Amino acid sequence: MAVSSIHVLAIFSFVLGHCLFLNIEATHHAYRNLQSTVSSSSSNQPYRTGFHFQPSKNWINDPNGPMRYKGLYHLFYQYNPKGAIWGNIVWAHSVSKDLVNWTPLDKAIYPSQPSDINGCWSGSATIFPDGKPAILYTGIDQNNNQVQNLAYPKNASDPYLREWIKIPQNPLMAPASSNGINSSSFRDPTTAWLGKDGHYRVLVGNKRDTTGKALLYRTKDFVHWVKAKHPLYSAKGTGMWECPDFFPVLSKSMFGVDTSFDGPYVRHVLKVSLDDKKHDYYLIGTYDAKKDKFIPDSGFQNLDSFLRYDYGKYYASKTFFDDAKKRRILLGWANESSSVADDLNKGWSGIHAIPRAIWLHKSGKQLVQWPVPEIEKLRAKPISWPIKVLKAGQLLQVTGITAAQADVEVSFEAKGFEKAEVLDYWMDPQVLCSKKGAAVKGELGPFGLLALASKDLKENTAVFFRIFRYQHKPLILFCSDQSRSSLNKNNDLTTYGTFLDVDPSHENLSLRSLIDRSVVESFGGEGKAVITARVYPTLAINDEAQLYVFNYGSANVKITRLNAWSMKKAQIN
Ligand code: DQQ
């Protein structure tokens, strides 16, 4: 079903304009006058997360160089040690045994040589066949050019990888008049993969004019890199490609494979973070190793057909292969939706989404994402409902859990699709979700959850489904409506949405939401679509937050499953 088309250009320009007007941090602007402002760190902190990763204070953005090494997961991330806005960027470092509880270590990579003296930006780790790691990252050099540098551990026998040495040959890849690379559009090297010819390859994000590109470099020794004549892939009109990621997935298997793996059942995924749109897009296709080219499958001709990992706030993501559990893990940054003034006041900005296992759906047409099962050990006080009918117009409270910090799974069975509202012409699902928000009654839906709701319902984040009939078939709209998430209207309250490729006559509509004080991370259709929302309730905080199941459609639906848990606090720095 061609339900994945995205026509966001117009709405995006509107939203971006709107956000800038409100001074919402739509992205990481360089607020130079504020860069060394000491965060005011208000003691009233209802929005700090209980189990989503964040450091104790200050600004964070992209996850960098994730890897598993000597039994520990390593997460590096873009961090401003001096304040709650973007700037002074270093690689902060935390380690974990389970991807849930994290221990902070000293910063790992920070400006120290001419090739990175103005900042250490995003990059990736590669683990060599002898088991030792190396990191390629973007340095901002003494002339403010973007260049690529190499660092390796000072002591590879230290499982904590505390100290990193930068090689004296840095930078290893640099813009020059001979290669025509624009020095402000050349960043974020990927994990390297090894070809059958014994040469490693990496991608570096780039643009020329408005054409986004994944530049390809090859090397024999990881020090001398040669730019290939052609990029691995490029697409007109997509703007700067940040944080590219390129990895193999297996057809008809949930197992992950190493980034260098090649074989009969291998498909490849190319993900790019589009600077112009601030969303992560991916394409599925074939990697032609002989020509070093990526050939997207026929469904992915242009940006309108690219898919997204997450239809809410989620950017600059990166995957790595977890060799212990033979899975590929996806990490991503969920930026704030609050104003810069509010971020400075709370003394921090940015969290990471829950690490997700990622694999190719058996249709081969899209990826599936699911929170790593380790997160389930934080579950406490389980509640479970018997199957029940949720009548038209009904609202039921889910009691017995701490609704501000919870994990909820619910499934709905709907019937009578011939009565569903007819969608005459194709519409951008995000626009459709904002036109038909949770408060707009329908026939089959809206039904779903009201998360982080106040007792009087003045505040709530509604995550829901609505079933349409489009070209004589049921079409599922999956939305996250933030328009009533806070009485404070000085936040980005954009409603998010996507179509979900599920046939409701064969499958119940499932939703799982990880609710964590200022984030509602929702997985629809068993992980076929994900929407992450950042919200700042003023009433629905701490013990005041409530959770409801609702059906504002005029047809009954059946709740075939409802399981919910309070979530214990994780050690997140
Ligand atoms: N963030 C980094 C860049 C990257 C961007 C700078 C993406 O390397 O392109 O903090 O969020």
Paired tokens of 553: 């459609």
Q: CATH says 375-567 is which class?
A: mainly beta
Residue 271 Cα to ligand 1 middle (Å): 15
List the alpha helices (DSSP H) in 363-462: 429-435
pLDDT tens across 75-122, in order? 999 999 999 999 999 999 999 999 999 999 999 999 999 999 999 999
For the chain, the distance separating the N- and C-terminal CA atoms, rounded to the nearest angstrom, is: 43
Cβ of 335 below 6 Å from ligand 1: no
Residue 311 Cα to ligand 1 middle (Å): 20
Q: For residue 59, what pLDDT band results from cuts at 50, 70 and 90?
A: very high
Q: For residue 252, what pLDDT band results from cuts at 50, 70 and 90?
A: confident
Q: What 3-state DSSP class applies to 423? A: coil
Q: Which atom of ligand 1 is nearest to the CA of 89?
A: 10
Q: Using an 8 Å Cβ cutoff, are 15 and 482 in contact?
A: no
What is the average pLDDT across 44-56? 96
Paired tokens of 178: 């001979």
Paired tokens of 219: 């090397």
Cβ of 206 below 6 Å from ligand 1: no
Q: Using an 8 Å Cβ cutoff, are 164 and 108 in contact?
A: yes
Residue 243 pLDDT > 80: yes
Q: What's the pLDDT at 39? A: 53
Q: What's the pLDDT at 20? A: 33
Backbone torsion region of residue 512, taken as left when φ is above 0, otherwise alpha when ψ lies between -120 and 50, otherwise beta: beta
- A 10 A CB-CB count for 449 gives 28
pLDDT tens across 489-525, in order? 999 999 999 999 999 999 999 999 999 999 999 999 9
Q: For residue 268, what pLDDT band results from cuts at 50, 70 and 90?
A: very high
Q: Which atom of ligand 1 is nearest to the CA of 27?
A: 11
Of residues 12 and 283, which shows the higher confidence score? 283
Boundaries of every domain in the chain: 5-38+51-371, 375-567
Sign of CA dihedral 101, 106, 111, 116: negative
Residue 120 Cα to ligand 1 middle (Å): 10
Q: Which atom of ligand 1 is nearest to the CA of 122?
A: 8
Cβ of 121 below 6 Å from ligand 1: yes
Those residues with Cβ within 8 angstroms of residue 403's Cβ, 6 or more apart along the chain or in another chain: 451, 452, 453, 515, 545, 546, 547
pLDDT tens across 421-472, in order? 999 999 999 999 999 999 999 999 999 999 999 999 999 999 999 999 999 9
| CA distances to 20, 73, 134, 265, 529 from 373, in Å | 38, 15, 28, 26, 18
Q: What's the pLDDT at 14? A: 30
Cα separation, 479 vs 361, whole angstroms = 21
Q: Which atom of ligand 1 is nearest to the CA of 138?
A: 8
Residue bearing the CA closest to ligand 1, atom 11: 316
Q: Is the fold of 5-38+51-371 the same as that of 375-567? A: no
Residue bearing the CA closest to ligand 1, atom 5: 242
Those residues with Cβ within 8 angstroms of residue 87's Cβ, 6 or more apart along the chain or in another chain: 30, 31, 32, 34, 35, 36, 59, 80
Residue 356 pLDDT > 90: yes
Residue 516's DSSP bridge partners are 405
Cβ of 243 below 6 Å from ligand 1: yes
Residue among 109, 183, 187 to mutate when testing ligand 1 (max atoms within 8 A of CB): 187
Q: What's the pLDDT at 6? A: 30
Residue 503 Cα to ligand 1 middle (Å): 38
| CA distances to 83, 146, 252 from 299, in Å | 43, 34, 19
Cβ of 122 below 6 Å from ligand 1: yes
Just list the catalytic residues: 62, 141
Q: Using an 8 Å Cβ cutoff, are 525 and 475 in contact?
A: no
Q: What 3-state DSSP class applies to 441? A: coil
Cβ of 62 below 6 Å from ligand 1: yes
Q: Using an 8 Å Cβ cutoff, are 192 and 222 in contact?
A: yes
Cβ of 316 below 6 Å from ligand 1: yes
Cα separation, 336 vs 517, whole angstroms = 13
Residue bearing the CA closest to ligand 1, atom 6: 121
Residue 33 pLDDT > 70: no
Q: What percent of the chain lies above the pLDDT cut of 70?
A: 92
pLDDT tens across 178-230, in order? 999 999 999 999 999 999 999 999 999 999 999 999 999 999 999 999 999 99
Paired tokens of 284: 């599925």
**Sole residue written with tokens 């020059």:** 176
Q: What's the pLDDT at 18? A: 33
Paired tokens of 558: 């059946």
Q: Which atom of ligand 1 is nearest to the CA of 205?
A: 9
Cβ of 318 below 6 Å from ligand 1: no
What is the average pLDDT across 3-11? 32
Residue 410's DSSP bridge partners are 511, 562
Average pLDDT, the chain: 93
For domain 5-38+51-371, give the CATH number: 2.115.10.20
Residue 29 pLDDT > 60: no
Report the length, in residues, of the chain: 573
Cβ of 240 below 6 Å from ligand 1: no
Q: Using an 8 Å Cβ cutoff, are 241 and 225 in contact?
A: no
Q: What's the pLDDT at 30? A: 57
Cα separation, 301 vs 4, whole angstroms = 13
Q: Using an 8 Å Cβ cutoff, are 157 and 151 in contact?
A: no
